[in-house]
Amino acid sequence: MLVSVVIYYTFVSLQYSKDIEAEMASSQNLRTVFMGSSVVLALFAAVFIGYSNAFFTRNRKKEIGLYALLGVRRKTIGQMLLYENLILGAVVWAAGIGLGTLLSKLFGMILVRPLGTGATTAVGFGLSLEAAANTIAVFAIIVLATSLYSYRLIYKFSLIVLFRADKKRRSRAARLGLGCDRCRAADRGGLRRGA
């Protein structure tokens, strides 16, 4: 998630940069490309973070089942997961915006150079409040959506299913391993018969 926040913030800070804006004032196409690219980056980040969260939540089914077995209500488990996501999100937002601020000057200089204006040193260094607000808004929506998915998962599965999730993964791996062993044994038997 950190890499997604850094990339998105860096890109959006360039979009809101006064120095870059002055360089591309004459090009409406470049503005359209910036806007479209920021939407594509946000969608890519949403898919990546959503998939990662789904993977980690599926791997935590046994932990969630243990909480339920100990008598923790599902609502409380959902709140714990929500607070966990919000705290991790806040830490990642702060770190991502900080790293993005450091990298935005570099990427701004890289972007201005191909424009051919010779104003590579005109790119300023600083925190863009508009870009920070945009980044926090986009990733807040993503974090809330993934938290709702986790919350829904708690109510979707029974206690037994949550505990058997680990066994199901192990049994699939065991079947795959057993299938590979059978293939090796058949291959060895075929070699012996042919020899």
78-111: per-residue pLDDT in tens? 888 888 888 998 999 999 998 988 888 787 777 6
The DSSP 8-state label assigned to residue 157 in this structure reads S
What would the pLDDT profile of 133-177 be if each residue is shown by its tens digit? 999 999 999 999 988 888 887 777 776 766 676 555 554 544 555
pTM attached to this predicted model = 0.70
**Residue 195: band (very low, low, confident or very high) from pLDDT cuts 50, 70, 90:** very low
Give the model's pLDDT for residue 95: 93
Quote the CA–CA distance of 136 and 8 in Å, as a whole number: 10
With beta carbons less than 8 A apart as the criterion, state whether 38 and 31 touch. Answer: no
**Number of other residues whose CB lies within 10 A of the CB of residue 105:** 18
With beta carbons less than 8 A apart as the criterion, state whether 120 and 112 touch. Answer: yes
Q: Give, to the nearest 10 degrees, the angle between helix 61-69 and helix 129-156.
A: 60
Whether residue 49 has pLDDT greater than 50: yes
With beta carbons less than 8 A apart as the criterion, state whether 133 and 11 touch. Answer: no
Query: Strands, E, within the chain: which ranges?
Result: none
Amino acid present at 67:
Y
**Residue 126: band (very low, low, confident or very high) from pLDDT cuts 50, 70, 90:** confident
**Number of other residues whose CB lies within 10 A of the CB of residue 109:** 15
**Residue 191: band (very low, low, confident or very high) from pLDDT cuts 50, 70, 90:** very low
Tokens representing residue 68 in the block: 């339920």
With beta carbons less than 8 A apart as the criterion, state whether 119 and 23 touch. Answer: yes
Whether residue 27 has pLDDT greater than 60: yes
Give the model's pLDDT for residue 112: 66
Name the phi and psi angles at 128, rounded to 5. Answer: -95, 110
The DSSP 8-state label assigned to residue 158 in this structure reads -
Quote the CA–CA distance of 154 and 138 in Å, as a whole number: 25
% residues pLDDT > 90 (the chain): 10
With beta carbons less than 8 A apart as the criterion, state whether 18 and 126 touch. Answer: no
Whether residue 56 has pLDDT greater than 60: yes
3-class SS shares of the chain: helix, strand, coil, % to 5 = 90, 0, 10
The three-state secondary structure class of 26 is coil
